[in-house]
């Protein structure tokens, strides 16, 4: 038997996000987010589901922290709902919202669980969306105000911060959902992504002034890119996909600049963002302390000249191993971690999300035998451990997710949790994978 052991200082955790678990969508003075608006529009979310109640974490956080403690989590990643503490996005503070997060943080610390907070996990205040949202350059001032309020309210106890979750998805996924990049959509997405980078840099700057001893970073969804054939054209296309999805964010947050090849390409296609004087200096002087990596799957691409802007095509070879979030490909995590270490000067890395949802989540006789999730996690933990043994500076692992929850446009139809939630009774039931994860944490490893 092969024993996998993680380093002494390695930390195990799980991740959630506010809109996916909290519920209480209009309680205690909370303002609306764009997800409240979206989920109330007919036909947008599968089965007409909404996050109105979600898993009622807002009222059940004590019970939920007790579950985290019982599973043995050493750290917990959650996000703050911006409109819960600033109902109009800026200006008026909702003290009850601040109180909720204070209670949650205190509960976690009492349980011996280290909190790490994501400031922005997509539930943008509707009031700011009405002012042009992230397309508006003022968004960096809005975000700076919100970030500063969070740092000042919670920063005495919270020492690790993530500014954005998966900015690529938030800016670009819509481009694809709407049927592929048009000049207008790509240019819009590139503007938005530049505003994310500026907002990120502003928040980093503010945080460092307030709490020089803490750490602040960002979470990116990264996908290593491969080609099917060994053709030169396909390799060029793969490099462009890598530039489009990975380097476009990695380079500014870790190197302080945009990748030259992508900037030139976007300029030629007339979709480049509006980079103004001082922007790159701000980004350059506020690079991240750590990188949060969300890894779900790899991407295979080929050259495709008919696609007018990016000139590649993503290939999906769907087989039995296909899960909600793509092909199961643990070696992709290994390749990605090694690449980050090589190309970005040995950065401090946390895996801030990794997990899966297959369709095998039935509750039978009070049990959920989710063997495929367990296998998935085991294979990915093993890949991470291999990367660590090659010298990669990976220090934490957050499983997505602790609980089943509201999976965005899929509503409640996709279950990602280690813990099953009965949405009728809000009962939480440990899946087999939760028992297994508890053992992994206790042993700081596992046997293969
Ligand atoms: C990620 C999101 C997270 C969750 C998982 C399955 O893209 O960050 O909120 O939906 O996918």
Give the span between the Cα atoms of 300 and 261, in whole angstroms: 20
pLDDT for position 177: 67
d(CA 295, ligand 1 centre) in Å: 10
* Alpha carbons 75 and 82: distance in angstroms, whole number: 22
User: Looking at 22, 107, 114, 166, which residue is catalytic?
Assistant: 166
Q: How far is the CA of 385 from the centre of ligand 1 (A)?
A: 23
Tokens of 410: 């899929």
Ligand 1 is surrounded, with C-beta below 6 A, by 17, 20, 165-166, 169, 221, 294, 325, 353, 400, 407-408, 416
Upper half-sphere CA count for residue 217 (Cβ side, 13 Å): 19
Ligand 1 centroid, distance to 18 Cα (angstroms): 12
- Please give the tally of structural domains in the chain: 1
**Whole-angstrom distance, CA of residue 414 vs CA of residue 411:** 7
CA-closest candidate to residue 130, choices 19, 31, 27, 274: 31
Q: What tens-digit pLDDT sequence spans the chain (448 residues)? A: 789 999 999 999 999 999 999 999 999 999 999 999 999 999 999 999 999 999 999 999 999 999 999 999 999 999 999 999 999 999 999 999 999 999 999 999 999 999 999 999 999 999 999 999 999 999 999 999 999 999 999 999 999 999 999 999 989 977 666 667 889 999 999 999 999 999 999 999 999 999 999 999 999 999 999 999 899 999 999 999 999 999 999 999 999 999 999 999 999 999 999 999 999 999 999 999 999 999 999 999 999 998 889 999 999 878 777 778 889 999 999 999 999 999 999 999 999 999 999 876 889 999 999 999 999 999 999 999 999 999 999 999 999 999 999 999 999 999 999 999 999 999 999 999 999 999 999 999 999 8
- 88 in catalytic set: no
Q: What is the CATH number of the domain that holds 119?
A: 3.20.20.80
- To test the pocket of ligand 1, the residue of 166, 173, 326, 358 to mutate (highest count of ligand atoms within 8 Å of its CB) is 166
SS3 category, 179: coil
Check if the beta carbon of residue 13 is closer than 8 Å to that of residue 76.
yes
- Among 404, 408, 409, 410, the mutation site with the greatest number of ligand 1 atoms within 8 A of its Cβ is 408
Structural domain boundaries, residue 193: 3-447
- 281-313 in b/e form (b: 16+ CB < 10 A) is ebbeebbbbbbbbbbbbbbbbbbeeeeebbbbb
- Cα 166 to ligand 1 centroid, rounded to whole Å: 8
The protein residue with its alpha carbon nearest to ligand 1, atom 5, reads 400
Of 67, 95, 38, give the one whose Cα is nearest residue 421.
67
Q: Residue 76 corresponds to which tokens in the numbers above?
A: 């917990």
Known catalytic residue at 353: yes
Instruction: Single out the catalytic residue among 22, 107, 353, 382.
Output: 353
Ligand 1 atom nearest the C-alpha of 416 is 6
Burial label for 1, CB within 10 Å (0-12, 13-18, 19+), is exposed
Supply the pLDDT for residue 322.
79
Ligand 1 geometric centre to CA of 394 (Å): 21
What is the per-residue pLDDT for 178?
67
Nearest CA to ligand 1 atom 4: 407
| Mutual angle of helices 432-443 and 371-389, in 10-degree steps | 20
Helix (H) or strand (E) holding 163: strand 160-165
Other C-beta atoms closer than 10 Å to the C-beta of 442 total 10
Measured from the CA of 407, which atom of ligand 1 is nearest? 10
Let me know the angle formed at the C-alpha of 120 by 166 and 274, rounded to the nearest 5 degrees.
70
Distance 53 CA to ligand 1 centre (A): 19
Which ligand 1 atom sits nearest the alpha carbon of residue 221?
7
Mutation test residue for ligand 1: of 177, 353, 380, 416, the one with most atoms within 8 Å of CB: 353
Please give the Cα distance from 281 to 264 (Å, whole number): 19
């Amino acid at each position: 038997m092969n024993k996998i052991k993680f380093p002494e200082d390695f930390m195990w955790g799980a991740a959630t996000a506010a809109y996916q678990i909290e519920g209480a969508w209009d309680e205690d003075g909370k303002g609306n987010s764009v997800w409240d608006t979206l989920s109330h529009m007919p036909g947008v979310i599968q089965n007409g589901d909404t996050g109105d109640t979600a898993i009622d974490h807002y009222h059940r956080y004590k019970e939920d922290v007790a579950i985290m403690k019982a599973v043995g989590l050493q750290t917990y990643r959650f996000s703050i709902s911006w409109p819960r503490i600033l109902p109009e996005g800026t200006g008026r503070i909702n003290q009850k919202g601040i109180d909720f997060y204070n209670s949650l943080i205190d509960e976690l610390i009492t349980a011996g669980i280290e909190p790490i907070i994501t400031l922005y996990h997509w539930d943008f205040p509707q009031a700011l969306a009405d002012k042009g949202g992230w397309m508006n350059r003022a968004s960096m001032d809005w975000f700076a105000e919100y970030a500063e309020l969070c740092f000042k309210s919670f920063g005495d106890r919270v020492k690790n911060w993530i500014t954005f979750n998966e900015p690529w998805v938030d800016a670009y996924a819509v481009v694809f959902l709407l049927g592929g990049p048009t000049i207008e959509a790509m240019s819009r997405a590139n503007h938005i992504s530049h505003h994310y980078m500026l907002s990120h840099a502003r928040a980093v700057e503010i945080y460092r002034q307030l709490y020089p001893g803490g750490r602040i970073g960002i979470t990116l969804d990264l996908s290593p890119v491969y080609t099917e054939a060994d053709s030169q054209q396909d390799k060029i296309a793969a490099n462009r996909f890598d530039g489009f999805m990975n380097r476009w964010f990695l380079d500014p947050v870790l190197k302080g600049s945009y990748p030259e090849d992508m900037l030139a390409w976007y300029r030629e296609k007339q979709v480049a963002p509006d980079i103004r004087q001082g922007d790159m200096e701000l980004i350059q002087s506020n690079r991240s302390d750590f990188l949060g990596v969300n890894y779900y799957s790899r991407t295979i691409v080929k050259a495709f000249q008919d696609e007018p802007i990016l000139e590649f095509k993503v290939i999906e070879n769907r087989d039995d191993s296909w899960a909600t979030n793509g092909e199961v490909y643990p070696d992709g995590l290994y390749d990605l971690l090694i690449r980050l270490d090589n190309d970005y000067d040995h950065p401090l890395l946390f895996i801030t999300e990794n997990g899966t949802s297959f369709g095998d989540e039935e509750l039978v006789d009070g049990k959920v035998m989710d063997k495929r999730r367990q296998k998935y996690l085991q294979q990915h933990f093993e890949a991470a451990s291999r990367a660590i043994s090659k010298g990669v500076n990976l220090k934490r692992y957050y499983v997505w997710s602790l609980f089943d929850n509201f999976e965005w446009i899929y509503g409640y139809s996709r279950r990602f949790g280690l813990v099953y939630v009965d949405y009728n009774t809000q009962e939480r039931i440990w899946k087999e994978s939760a028992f297994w994860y508890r053992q992994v944490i206790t042993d700081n490893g596992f046997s293969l």
